[in-house]
Amino acid sequence: MKDHDHALALAAAVRAAYDADAPLEIVAGGTRRAFGRSPAGAPLSVAAHTGIVEYDPTEFVVTVRAGTPMVALEEVLGRERQVLMVDVPRFSAASTIGGALAIGLTGPSRPYSGALRDAVLGARIVSGTGEILRFGGQVLKNVAGFDVARLMVGSYGTLGLLLDVSLRVARCADAEVVRDLALDWRTAHAALRRWEGALPVTGACYADGVLHVRLAGREERVAAACQIIGGEAGEPTLFHELRDLRGPFFSQPGDLWRLLVPSDAPWDPQETLIDWAGAQRFWRFSGDPQPVLEHAARYRGQAMRLLGADRSQGPWAAPAPATMALMARVKAAMDPRAILNRGRLYPDW
Amino acid sequence: MNENAEPNRRPWPAAFMRRLGRILPPDGLLQKSADVAVYECDGLPVYRARPLAVALPRTVAEVGQVLALCTEYGVPVVARGAGTGLSGGALPHPEGVVLGLARLDRIVALDPDCRLARVEPGVRNLAISEAAQPFGLFYAPDPSSQIACTIGGNVAENAGGVHCLKYGLTTHNVLALKFFTADGVLHEIGGPTGEAPLDLAALLTGSEGLLGVVVEITVRLRPRPPATVAWLAAFRSLEDAAASVSQVVSEGIIPAGLELMDSLALSAAQDYTGIRYPEGSAAVVLAEVDGDDLAVVLDGERLRAIFMAHGAFALQQASRDEDRRRLWLGRKSAFPAVGRLAPDYYCMDGTIPRRSLVPVLTEIAALSRRYGRPVANVFHAGDGNLHPLILYDAAIPGQLERVEALGADILRLCLRHGGTISGEHGVGVEKLDGMCAQFSAAELAVFHALKSAFDPHHLLNPGKAVPTPARCVEPGGMHVHEGRLPFSRLERF
Q: How far apart are CA A309 and CA B467, in angstroms?
A: 47
Q: How far apart are CA A89 and CA A15, in angstroms?
A: 31
Q: Are residues B217 and B248 in the same domain?
A: no
- A263: which chain B residues are within 8 Å (Cβ-Cβ)? 113-115, 192
Interchain pair A218, B439: CB under 8 A: no
What range does the domain containing B30 cover?
Answer: 14-100
Q: Does a structural domain hold residue B248?
A: yes
Distance from CA of A47 to the nearest CA of B (A): 24
Q: What is the pLDDT of residue B8?
A: 56
> What is the predicted ipTM?
0.97
- B424: which chain A residues are within 8 Å (Cβ-Cβ)? 141, 143
How many CB atoms within 10 Å of residue B460?
28
Q: Does a structural domain hold residue B374?
A: no
Distance from CA of A325 to the nearest CA of B (A): 9
Task: Find, among A101, A262, A313, the residue nearest to B194 by Cα.
Answer: A262
Q: What is the pLDDT of residues B145-166, one digit of tens each?
A: 899 999 999 999 999 988 889 9
Q: Are residues B214 and B255 in the same domain?
A: no
Contact A261, A292 (CB under 8 A): no
Total CB pairs under 8 A between chain A and B:
235
Looking at mean pLDDT, say which of A149-163, A272-286, B250-264 comes out highest.
A149-163
Of A224-228, A284-288, B9-13, minimum mean pLDDT range: B9-13
Task: Find, among A150, A263, A326, the residue nearest to B158 by Cα.
Answer: A150
Q: What is the pLDDT of residue A198?
A: 87
Q: Does a structural domain hold residue B366?
A: no
Residue A313 φ/ψ region, left for φ over 0, alpha for ψ in the -120 to 50 degree band, beta for the rest: beta
Q: Are residues B134 and B206 in the same domain?
A: yes
Q: What is the pLDDT of residues B239-292, one digit of tens each?
A: 999 999 999 998 889 999 999 999 999 999 999 999 999 999 999 999 999 988
Q: Does a structural domain hold residue B279?
A: yes
Q: Does A276 touch chain B (CB under 8 A)?
A: yes
Exposed, middle or buried, A88 (CB in 10 Å: 0-12/13-18/19+)? Answer: buried
Q: What is the pLDDT of residue B142?
A: 92
Report the CATH architecture of A7-172+330-334: 2-Layer Sandwich (3.30)
Q: What is the pLDDT of residue B484?
A: 35
Q: Does B169 touch chain A (CB under 8 A)?
A: yes
Task: Find, among A168, A58, A166, the residue nearest to B357 by Cα.
Answer: A58
Q: Are residues B316 and B249 in the same domain?
A: yes
Does A231 have pLDDT greater than 80?
yes
Q: Are residues B249 and B329 in the same domain?
A: yes
Q: Are residues B156 and B263 in the same domain?
A: no
Q: Are residues B242 and B218 in the same domain?
A: no
Collect all residues with Cβ–Cβ distance below 8 Å to B180 and sequence separation of at least 6: B63, B64, B67, B186, B187, B212, B213, B215
Does A170 have pLDDT greater than 80?
yes
Last residue of a domain, one of B100, B118, B148: B100
Q: Does B80 touch chain A (CB under 8 A)?
A: no
- Pairwise pLDDT comparison (A274 vs A268), residue with the higher score: A274
Q: Are residues B218 and B112 in the same domain?
A: yes
Interchain pair A151, B424: CB under 8 A: no
Distance from CA of B345 to the nearest CA of A (A): 22
Interchain pair A262, B222: CB under 8 A: no
- A222: which chain B residues are within 8 Å (Cβ-Cβ)? none
Interchain pair B353, A56: CB under 8 A: yes
Q: How far apart are CA B261 and CA B282, in angstroms?
A: 9
Would you place residue A252 in the very low, low, confident or very high pLDDT band (cuts 50, 70, 90)?
A: confident
- H-helix segments, B255-320: 263-273, 293-309
Task: Find, among B145, B98, B108, the residue nearest to B124 by Cα.
Answer: B145
Q: Does A61 touch chain B (CB under 8 A)?
A: yes
Q: Are residues B285 and B300 in the same domain?
A: yes
Total count of domains within chain B: 3
Interchain pair B191, A260: CB under 8 A: yes
User: CA distances (Å), B232 to each of B21, B259, B330, B450, in order?
Assistant: 55, 10, 11, 45
Q: What are phi and psi of A164, to 5 degrees?
A: -150, 155
Distance from CA of B101 to the nearest CA of A (A): 22
Q: Does a structural domain hold residue B373?
A: no
Q: Mutation test of the interface with chain B: which of A139, A257, A323, A324, choosing the one with the most B Cβ atoms within 10 A? A: A139
Interchain pair A127, B446: CB under 8 A: yes
Task: Give me the residues of chain B with pLDDT under 50, please.
Answer: 1-7, 475-493
Contact A105, B195 (CB under 8 A): no
Q: What is the pLDDT of residue A268?
A: 85
Tell me the mean pLDDT in the region A105-117. Answer: 97
DSSP for residue A68: S
Q: Does a structural domain hold residue B135?
A: yes
Strands, E, within chain A: which ranges?
24-27, 42-45, 52-56, 61-65, 82-84, 120-126, 132-136, 161-171, 175-182, 201-207, 210-217, 232-233, 256-260, 271-275, 280-284, 302-307
Residue B19 φ/ψ region, left for φ over 0, alpha for ψ in the -120 to 50 degree band, beta for the rest: alpha
Of A30-34, A211-215, B1-5, B52-56, minimum mean pLDDT range: B1-5
Measured at the alpha carbon of residue A240, what is the angle toward residues A236 and A246, in degrees to the nearest 5? 115
Does A230 have pLDDT greater than 90?
yes
Q: Does a structural domain hold residue B36?
A: yes
Last residue of a domain, one of B176, B206, B223: B223
Q: Does A301 touch chain B (CB under 8 A)?
A: yes
CATH number at residue B190: 3.30.465.10
Contact B68, B183 (CB under 8 A): yes
**Cross-strand partners of B261:** B284, B378
Q: How far apart are CA A66 and CA A95, in angstroms?
A: 10
Q: Mutation test of the interface with chain B: which of A140, A148, A174, A329, choosing the one with the most B Cβ atoms within 10 A? A: A140
Interchain pair B199, A332: CB under 8 A: no
Q: Does a structural domain hold residue B347?
A: no
What is the Cα A138 distance to its own chain's centre?
20
Q: Are residues B144 and B82 in the same domain?
A: no
Interchain pair A301, B222: CB under 8 A: no
The answer for A 312-331 residues in CB contact with B (under 8 A) is 315-316, 319-320, 322-323, 326-327, 329-331
User: Would the CA dihedral through A25, A31, A37, A38 be positive or negative?
Assistant: positive
**Cross-strand partners of B176:** B190, B218
Interchain pair B353, A320: CB under 8 A: no
Q: Are residues B119 and B214 in the same domain?
A: yes
User: CA distances (Å), A52 to each of A63, A86, B52, in order?
Assistant: 6, 19, 54
Q: Are residues B255 and B153 in the same domain?
A: no
Last residue of a domain, one of B199, B223, B247: B223
**3-class DSSP state for residue B85?**
coil
Share the mean pLDDT of chain A. 95
Which among A58, A151, A159 has the least Cβ separation from residue B250?
A: A58
